[in-house]
Structure 1
Amino acid sequence: MDTVTTVEFMRHFGRYHDEAKKRPITLTKHGRPSVVVMPVELYEKLKGHADPRRVYRIGEMPEDIATIFLDQLEKDSAEYRASADE
């Protein structure tokens, strides 16, 4: 996540607005994180899944979360196989 001062954000609003549409940007005030500007889609996703500890039954997990899990499992499996071959 990118970090920028609030003053810098205001000074170059158009640039950071465009960047924030791609990934979250943390704004700082007096050297401390203050707010995060993020794409609407990400905000909606986070708002819809407020409790990250939620447990899903088989077949009810949302597609986007299932994809994240499957991608991570594939990555972990590939790393495990690579380390076993060494």
Structure 2
Amino acid sequence: MADRSVTTAEFIRHFGRYHDEARQAPLTLTKHGRPSLVVLSADTYRRLTTQGDPRRAYAAGETPPDLSSLIVAELDRQSAEHPQD
């Protein structure tokens, strides 16, 4: 996932701005130049933690509708950020 990355110090200085950004897409916080934490919306966290076993593989017709829509939404978001020429 190509999420945005900011330093922990920058996050603290501009909490309100980054709080709003993290509600739209995950935000990686770095410390000493290395990824340290990921801030994401409560809805995204809830979806990730209520799916059961995250390693479960589904055949195309077996994918639960809520997981399928989450995957499609993320693919659409990434396509919008990186359009093909």
> TM range, normalised to the smaller chain?
0.5 to 0.7
Please list every run of 5 or more consecutive structure 1 residues that lacks an aligned counterpart in the other structure: 73-86
Q: Which residue of 2 aligns with 1:13?
A: 15
Kindly report the root-mean-square deviation, in angstroms, between the aligned alpha carbons of the 2 structures: 2.5
1:10-60 per-residue CA deviation (whole Å, 9 max, x = no partner) reads 000000001011000000011110000001111011111253332458x86
TM-score by length of 1: 0.66
SS of residue matched to 1:3? strand
Counting only pairs closer than 5 Å after superposition, residues 1-86 of structure 1 correspond to structure 2 as 1-55=3-57, 61-67=63-69, 68=71
Please list every run of 5 or more consecutive structure 2 residues that lacks an aligned counterpart in the other structure: 76-85
Size of the aligned set, in residue pairs, is: 70
- How far apart in 2 are the matches of 1:66 and 1:18? 25
Give % identity. Answer: 57
Q: CA deviation at 1:66?
A: 3.1
Structure 1 moving runs of 4+ over 4 Å? none
**Higher gyration radius (CA):** 1
